[in-house]
Each structure stands twice: as structure tokens, then as C-alpha cells.
Chain A
């Protein structure tokens, strides 16, 4: 008997996926500066990496502090493969080279994953941290493979050009990244719909019950980690092609911390969360990093605020508003939101001035005491700018508390109205 299937066309899903692909393809044609291209290439690779990380954190409930191990080792194997191809040891198209990284990630997933996935929760977090530190320490022990302090360099332009594609210009590499990113996004989304993807959710939510149903929770976690490490390896391989250099930083703790932050800030509970998170993360790292040296401080602060007040990340903030839009209640929110935004900007201005002034003071108060901030020129050793900055910070904090209370009240009303409607 043929199984009957009825699936309504999920229009929203097609629109979201289609527009994502369109934006990724069209954006570099509009913004043609080299800076945007660099940023977008980083975001493209970051999206693959963060989505692979979210398989563990969001779908499998495993908080890992060592995910860079898989992407980093993938990058190292890719760089060695690329150098071997250049020497003529064997032939492999550069376009498919990230698969080498993926395979390497998978192999190391098998090696490390079996032990680490025995437990979930805090124990998993600790072990993943230990494995990450172990691999990083190894990178200094084997300079032949890891290239020591300087890392390993390569050249991606090898072999005959195919249809004019040499991967010499950055735009060609960008489209390679886009192609891989879209393919990986589709594959990883499809994975969430498979029985294994569903079981990963079950093991995350209630491992005891999953075991009673007859599933081996260790096995489910192990398989999830394998697939995740494969995609992480692909991201590593693309990183190698993009930068043409792989250093020990690629397996380091800071890289692991970065992917965790990107994923969580975007929203671990939603498939699209890590995509948003990567965009925010790389804008912070690259764009804000180009303006101020204190970017890491702002990133850490953003992460802490998300953990404290919006643990679902940016994605949850967006999703939260969908039912409100549907019920046409947004009119109640505009005014408190505008107030929160205005007061928030005052607070932000105060915070940024204080941080930038402290930074300037501790670095250059002796050599160059004058600094420029928000168009004002002043001397960092004077008292007046400090009074203004601290005043903005404290004043902004006090008035934004009022605004937040108004936002809270508006939300309370909306929830009440929606409950009455559904009742």
C-alpha cells in the first residue's frame, strides 16, 4: 500500500531560504569594496562553523568548549593536501578540497568523540575543554605538522584554470564559500529532520526517557558529534583556502570560545540562530575591531547581556514578535521601544566613552593625552570629559530602567490580551 503523504507548501521557509541565498549571492555585487568581501567571506565560513556547533549545543544539548579542534585539524589537513597537490603528489580539485577538511574532522571526531560523549552536561563541557587544550599543546610539540609559531602557508592558485576559475581573485573564493555555505546549510537543516536529528533533541531534553524507549544515548550523542565535526572540518578547509595560512590559533581555545559566543548570541534554540550570530559576531570582530581596540570587551559584554536577559539569543527576540505581529498588537510596543532605544543610546554612549577613555588613559596618557570621541576633541587627563562620560553612563542607566519597565508593562498587557483571545 502506498503511503499517503500530504505536505502543504511551506511558503515561509522557501522565502527565508531563497532570500538568504539571494542576499549572499547579490551583496558583493552591490558593495564591491575589499573590506565587505573579507567580512562576508568570514561570515560565510562562520555560518557553517556555527551551525555545526549548534548541532551539539542547540540540537544535542552538549556545551562544547573545544569545537575548534575539529575545524582546526580539518584546516591543517587541507593545507597539507593543498601543498601536496601543488607538488604534484596527487590530483584533487581545489573546489572540493574542503571535503578533505571534513574527512579529517570526521576522523578526529571518531577518535575524541567516543570518550567525550559518554556524558553530557558539565562533564562533557569539561572534557571538551581538556581535549581542546590537549590538541593545542600538541600543536607546539609537533612543529613538522603544525608549523610551530609561524603556521603553515600555502598557495590556492594551482593547476589549470577551469572555465576561468583560478581562485586567485577574492571574489571567486567568496563564491566558493557561498556555494559550500548554502550546501552545508541545506544539509544541516535536512539533518535536523532525520530520525537521528529528532533523537538528538530527545536525548537533549530527556535522556532517561530516551534510554527507556530503547535508544543508546551515548551512541546518539556520538553520531551527532561525528556529523558536527565533519561540517566543522569543512569550515576549517574553507578557512585554509580563504587565508592561505593555517596557524595553531585555528585549534586554540579562543576560536572555540568564538564559535560558542556566535552561536549563543544568535540563538541556540533556532536553526537560523547561528546564522544571525555569525553575522553579529564577525561584524563585532572585523568592523568594530577596525574602529576600536576594545571590541573584545564589547563582545564579552554583549554575550553576558544575552546570557542574563535573553538566553534564547537574537533569534528568540525575533521569533517572540511574530505572534504579536500576527495579532496586530505591535502598535502597543512602538512607544516603549522608542523610549528604550533612546535611553539605551544614552547609556551606550556613556559606556563607550568610559571604556574608550579608560583604554586611552591606560595606553597613551603619557604620550598622547588628547583623543577624539564622537567628534569631540579633548584631553584624557582633564576631569570634565570624565564627568560627562560617567554622567552619561549613570544617567543613561537610571532613565533606561524606566524605559525597560515600560517595555515590561507593554509586554504584560500583550500577553494578557493574547491569552484572553485564545481562551
Chain B
């Protein structure tokens, strides 16, 4: 029970962090049709900016400044990069963001080097929030959840209640009409791209010190975020939310479970020896298969329900 609750809480906090990334990606995708390959790179930039800012003036200002800086970078990328390749179609846009992700990683190597950064949880958030049975639950995890939930509520309110949110929603489906009504749709695109990048940057600020800030962090989380977008249904925010939690919980639980197919068979009274056919497969524990599970889920999803959990269109 203790294991279950703690893993569940960890899974939810990781899932919420993933949602901060996948929500930005989903909004950008549904609006501009661009799958932003560099989205996880903005997450990485967020972590590095936060590290750099926090060495000068501390964590709390960094929490606000780093996402804004990342948002600025995102807007510049949209204005001077994506808008140029837009005329060549979606594949060119995807290639552009792919090249950008590569270049960002190399730039990080260039400026901060290849080793991981000493980006630590601030002392005021270091410690236990509460004790569950015998395990102390870290305060920082609670803080991460709180930030994610606040952000979730504020995106929801912005998109549904504010004027710019309504323009964005209208531009999702009828960009020409919105433009005819006198709104500057390219600027709205730029703002959305910047906003999505800022969200990814914020995820980087709070994720960078919870996990690790290193040049490989974008490549580690990027494919997972794409899996979430595909599993949740391309362009569906609700789907992305469900898929983020699902994959967050799936990964957290699977890492901790040390059972293999062999153990299951042994419990049923069937002994599988080390020389049995495909023995390497049977003795794999669930924790060893953990890195593969999200991709397996994606492949299964594509076979049985290609439009994803909440998707409305296929491909």
C-alpha cells in the first residue's frame, strides 16, 4: 500500500511535468500543424537558463525569468525561422525544428560543456512535506505538482475566458476568417509558439533540479513527449493530459517492479530454466523493460486505435 501510494504520487508529479511539455506541443501542433521537434530542447534551455540565473540571484527569480527568456527565444525562432520555411510545407517545418534541436544541443555543449550542472533544489524547498506510513515525501515533488496544476488552470482560463484565448481558439479552425476580422494571425502564431516554449521552459526550471540538468536531457524526454502526443491523439489537449498521466504512472511503476515472466511461471508451478528457448526474454524483469514500454504502448495504440485516446482525426 505504501509502495503503491508513493509510486502513484511520483507518477502523477512526473506525469504533470510531462503534461507541461506536451500541452505546449499540442497547442502548437493543432494551431500551426507543426510538430515542434525542438520542444524538448526548450525544456533543456529552460533548465540551463534557470541554473545560470539562480547562480546569480537565486531560484525564485529564476522561476519567473527563465521561462520568459525561453519564451523570447521561442518567438524569435518562430519569427525568423519557422515563418521562412512555412511556404515549403509541414515536412520542411519538421526538418527545421529537427535541425534546431540538434543545433541547440551543440550550443549547450559549446557554452556549458558536456557534463551535468550543479543545479540543485533550493534549501527552502528541500525537505519532507509529509510522512506517509514510513516514507517521507519530498516537499519539492509537492511544489512541482502545485506549479503544474496552477499552470494547467491558468492555460485553461486563458484559452477559454480571455480575449486572446478566444482569438487563438478561432484561429485553430478558421485562420482566414480570423484574419479577415482584423486580427494579426501570424502574430498570434508567434505568441502561441512563444507561450508553448515558455511552458516547456517552466517545466525545465522545475524539472532540471528534480532530475538532472545535462545536454542529453532533451533527447531523453523528447521522444516520450512525442509518444504522449500520438497516444493522446494529435492535437487534443485532454488526450495529452490523460496520456501524460498514463505514461508518467506507467514509467514510475514499471521502474520499481522487479518481476519477470519467469517468476510468474514459477508461481504457477511451471519452471522455466535458463536454457529454455527465448530464455533471455522470459527472465527480463518489468523494470528492465521500462524504457521500452511507452513506445510499445504507442505502437499498440497505432495498431488498434490510430487516432489516439481523444483524437478526432487520423494522421
Contact = CB atoms under 8 A, between A and B. Distances in A.
Interface of A: 61, 63, 65, 115, 118-123, 125-127, 129-131, 133-134, 137-138, 140-142, 144-145, 253, 257, 260-261, 264, 294, 296-297, 299-301, 303-304, 307-308, 311, 355, 358-359, 362-363
Contacts of A133: 223, 295
B92 A311 contact: yes
A363 B113 contact: yes
Contact of A63 (B33, B94, B109, B288): B94
B280 A362 contact: no
Interface of A is mostly: helix
B291 A137 contact: yes
B262 to A, nearest CB: 15
Contacts of B111: 358, 362
Contacts of B99: 261, 300, 303-304, 307
B230 A301 contact: no
Interface in B237-288: 280, 284, 288
A355 B110 contact: yes
Given A123-B234, A126-B226, A134 B106 contact: no
A167 to B, nearest CB: 31
A121 B299 contact: no
19 contacts: A61-B91, A115-B299, A119-B306, A121-B90, A121-B315, A125-B91, A127-B230, A127-B302, A130-B227, A130-B230, A130-B298, A296-B109, A300-B99, A300-B102, A300-B106, A304-B81, A307-B96, A308-B84, A362-B110
Nearest to A127: B302
Contacts of A127: 230, 298-299, 302
Contact of B95 (A129, A145, A307): A307
Contacts of A141: 284, 288-289, 291-292
Given A119-B315, A122-B94, A303 B110 contact: no
B2 interface: no
Contacts of A308: 81, 84-85, 96
A297 B219 contact: no
A129 B223 contact: yes
B137 interface: no
A261 B99 CA distance: 8
A5 B175 CA distance: 53
B157 interface: no
Contact of B315 (A61, A123, A142, A299): A123
Interface residues of B, number: 46
A303 B33 CA distance: 22
Contact of B299 (A130, A142, A264): A130
Contacts of B103: 297, 300-301, 304
Given A121-B90, A304-B100, A63 B230 contact: no
Contact of B110 (A63, A122, A131, A294): A294
A144 B113 CA distance: 34
A300 to B, nearest CB: 4
Which residue, of A123, A138, A260, has the highest number of chain B Cβ atoms within 10 A?
A: A123
B64 interface: no
Nearest to A123: B315
A125 B33 CA distance: 14
A218 to B, nearest CB: 11
B291 A140 contact: yes
Interface in B19-51: 33, 35
Contacts of A63: 91, 94-95
A79 B85 CA distance: 42
A359 to B, nearest CB: 6
Given A122-B90, A308-B85, A130 B295 contact: yes
A301 B105 CA distance: 12
A297 B299 contact: no
B92 A307 contact: yes
Nearest to A140: B291
B57 interface: no
Contacts of B315: 119-123
B1 interface: no
Contact of B306 (A118, A144, A299, A300): A118
B63 to A, nearest CB: 25
A307 B85 contact: yes
Contacts of A120: 315
Interface string B97-134: 01110110011011111000000000000000000000
Nearest to A133: B223
Given A126-B229, A130-B227, A141-B291, 12 more contacts: A121-B315, A123-B234, A126-B35, A126-B230, A130-B299, A131-B299, A133-B223, A297-B107, A307-B95, A308-B81, A359-B110, A363-B113
B85 A130 contact: no
B98 A137 contact: no
Nearest to A141: B288
B181 interface: no
Nearest to B296: A134
Contacts of B88: 311
